[in-house]
Amino acid sequence: MISFGPVPSRRLGKSLGVNNIIASKTCSYACVYCQAGRTHIKTIKRDIFFKPEMIYRDVEKHISLLPPDSYPDYLTIVSNGEPTLDINLGRTIEFLQKTGIPVAVITNASLLVLDQVRDDLCRADLVSLKTDAADDKIWKKINRPDKNLDFENHLKSLLLFSAEYKGILCTESMIIDQLNDSPDHLERLAGIVKNINPRTAYLSVPTRPPSEKWVKMPDAGKLNTAWQIFSKKGINTELLTGFEGSETGSSGNIYEDILNITAVHPLREDSLLRLLEKNSADFGIVESLISQKLIKTVMYLDKKFFIREYHLSRNKSGNK
């Protein structure tokens, strides 16, 4: 299945995820904090992954299987990689809107330099843009972009999209200890976000296992400083620092649900146990997935998470 959940979202309520890039993680970035693991294929070339009609049929079927209390607030295109690499993104958004449910896209914003990408995203009801860095040096340290991307062009494209887009626009900045949490950097980053003029600027921290184990959360004092700096510039700012909750929706196929959710983000143990309970399923299913090396367990912040396990050789970009 291409869709998963709904999963509880701190931004979107009940979010039915749509993974339009089910393959080895394919992205224009290799962010040090990414919850989907390391980038296997780093590229800025847009490609065909699924036909929009196929995605729509999958989502429509998934929705039909949900109980009334799990009906999603948003269909959220959030991928095992960067969703705007899908050359059919615009048509997929239009197909999904036939359900009558608003469509959100979570993007790292790196491909906004392309006219067609901006046009595709303008069709969505809500767009969330990643804004982690205020300069080229920090951008390369945190996001590790494809070598063909340029930071100054990236900044210009953020402002261009902001001027063109008529839907709900948000930004999200991942704050990482000793990387982008200095007052000077936060002041400059807040200036960039102020010019983008989002409805809400979200400041988040790594709450799930990051791709690089050395990534750490900033302390509460630094987070408060970040919030104060953004708020003083007149930006509607919210902190995303807590656990979303364990109420994950189910399609009725527990095997597929676990695989599809963990392809996009790690499942905390309490969420997984709740999902099994809702499906009257035995933990043996999880043990089977582990023995098949389809998922694995990792510890992060004293909590156990279940994540997808991929067995791939090193690709041309050099990313695992």
Structural domain boundaries in the chain = 3-308
More confident residue, 307 or 133: 133
Mean of pLDDT values over 87-111: 97
Question: What are the tens digits of pLDDT across the range 112-127?
Answer: 999 999 999 999 999 9
Average pLDDT, the chain: 87
Top mean pLDDT of 5-14, 27-36, 209-218, 235-244 is at: 27-36
Q: Looking at residue 57, what is its pLDDT? A: 96
pLDDT of residue 252: 61
Sheet holding 126-130: strands in order across?
Answer: 3-9, 13-18, 74-77, 103-107, 126-130, 168-174, 200-204, 237-240
- Residue 301 clears pLDDT 90, i.e. is over it: no
The residue among 302 and 195 whose pLDDT is bigger is 195
- What pLDDT, on the 0 to 100 scale, is given for residue 245? 47
pLDDT in tens, 245-264: 445 555 567 767 777 777 66
Q: What percent of the chain has pLDDT over 90?
A: 57
CA triplet 190, 196, 199: central angle to 5 degrees? 90
The answer, yes or no, to whether residue 243 has pLDDT greater than 60, is no
Per-residue pLDDT tens over the stretch 53-63: 999 999 999 99
CATH topology of domain 3-308: TIM Barrel (3.20.20)
Instruction: State percent of the chain over pLDDT 70.
Output: 90
